[in-house]
């Protein structure tokens, strides 16, 4: 039998909260912009180079009422980035409706591997080979951010770019541990293929969360 808390998590009224922090968006189109990050636990996509593996096991992160999450976020910023873990593991409808009702901008960082839920002002899609995005996330993505770990990721990036909308902004971002090797290749690739842009994890260079 399901507990009350499990039912609330299933309906998106509570979420396993890993951490929340006010920082500068380090990556992609909104890099350099102050934003409040909400990191929701739970992901079974399994990227071997994931920089937040502690997020994967949802059971390690306390189920938290969305009212509590929104109340805290509202004290810090109008721009809220929901990340994880994989936020689309959960129903993002109730959280984003509550944020929008408070006049906040909702951004998501997602692999797109699960059904799209929630109301979003900005969708950053970072597709993964092991679990490809759903059709709707391809259609709705505002930016496509492909992580480049090896040379095959350039082929993967083109394959993914063919599936997003025509206004979607295209980024190549070096996998952090491979940045010295892959960054020069990304630079060459973007000069040869200027429909792409470079994205760096600038928060790591700034030593901020």
Ligand X SMILES: Nc1nc2[nH]cc(C(=O)O)c2c(=O)[nH]1
Ligand Y SMILES: C[S@@+](CC[C@H](N)C(=O)[O-])C[C@H]1O[C@@H](n2cnc3c(N)ncnc32)[C@H](O)[C@@H]1O
The listed partner (ligand SF4, ligand Y, ligand X, none) that binds 176, CB under 5 to 8 Å by sort, is ligand Y
Near ligand SF4 by CB under 6 A, which window of 21-29, 39-47, 136-144, 154-162? Answer: 39-47
Residues 127-156 contacting ligand Y, CB under 6 A: 145, 147
Kindly state the tokens that stand for 13: 């009224």
Smallest distance, Å, CB 26 to ligand X?
A: 3
φ/ψ of residue 20, rounded to 5: -135, 140
What span, in angstroms and rounded, lies between the C-alpha atoms of 197 and 109?
A: 18
**Which residue ranges make up the site for ligand X (CB under 6 A)?**
23-27, 37, 83, 109, 203, 209
Residue span 39-68 as binding mask against ligand Y, x where in contact by CB under 6 A, dash where not: ----x-----xxxx----------------
For ligand SF4, the binding residue among 64, 96, 111, 201 (CB under 6 A) is 111
The reply on whether position 109 binds ligand Y by CB under 6 A is: yes
For residue 70, with 0-12 CB atoms within 10 Å meaning exposed, 13-18 middle and 19 or more buried, which class applies?
A: buried
DSSP states of 65-103: EHHHHHHHHHTT-SEEEEEES-GGGS--HHHHHHHHHTT
Kindly state the tokens that stand for 55: 């997020």
DSSP states of 158-179: HHHHTTS-TT-EEEEEE-GGGH
User: How remote is the C-alpha of 12 from its chain's centroid?
Assistant: 18
Smallest distance, Å, CB 48 to ligand SF4?
A: 8
Residues 79-98 contacting ligand SF4, CB under 6 A: 84-86
The reply on whether position 106 binds ligand Y by CB under 6 A is: no
* Residue that is written with structure tokens 């000069």 in the block: 191
Residues near ligand SF4 (CB under 6 A):
43, 45-47, 50, 52, 55, 84-86, 111, 128
Residues near ligand Y (CB under 6 A):
43, 49-52, 83-84, 86, 109-111, 126, 145, 147, 173, 175-176, 201
């Amino acid at each position: 039998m399901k507990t009350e808390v499990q039912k609330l998590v299933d309906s998106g009224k509570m979420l396993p909260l890993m951490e929340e922090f006010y920082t500068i968006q380090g990556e992609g189109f909104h890099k350099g912009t102050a934003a409040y990050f909400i990191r929701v636990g739970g992901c079974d996509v399994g990227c071997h180079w994931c920089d937040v593996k502690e997020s994967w096991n949802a059971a390690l992160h306390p189920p938290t009422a969305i009212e509590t999450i929104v109340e805290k976020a509202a004290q810090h910023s109008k721009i809220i980035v929901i990340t994880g873990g994989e936020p689309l593991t959960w129903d993002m409808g109730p959280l984003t409706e509550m944020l929008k009702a408070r006049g906040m901008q909702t951004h998501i960082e997602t692999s797109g591997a699960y059904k799209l839920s929630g109301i979003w002002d900005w969708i950053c899609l970072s597709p993964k080979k092991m679990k490809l995005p759903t059709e709707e996330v391809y259609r709705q993505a505002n930016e496509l951010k492909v992580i480049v770990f090896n040379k095959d990721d350039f082929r993967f990036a083109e394959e993914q770019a063919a599936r997003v909308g025509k206004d979607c902004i295209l980024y190549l971002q070096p996998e952090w541990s491979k940045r010295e090797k892959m960054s020069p290749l990304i630079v060459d690739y973007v000069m040869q293929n200027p429909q792409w842009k470079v994205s760096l994890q600038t928060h790591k260079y700034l030593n901020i969360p």
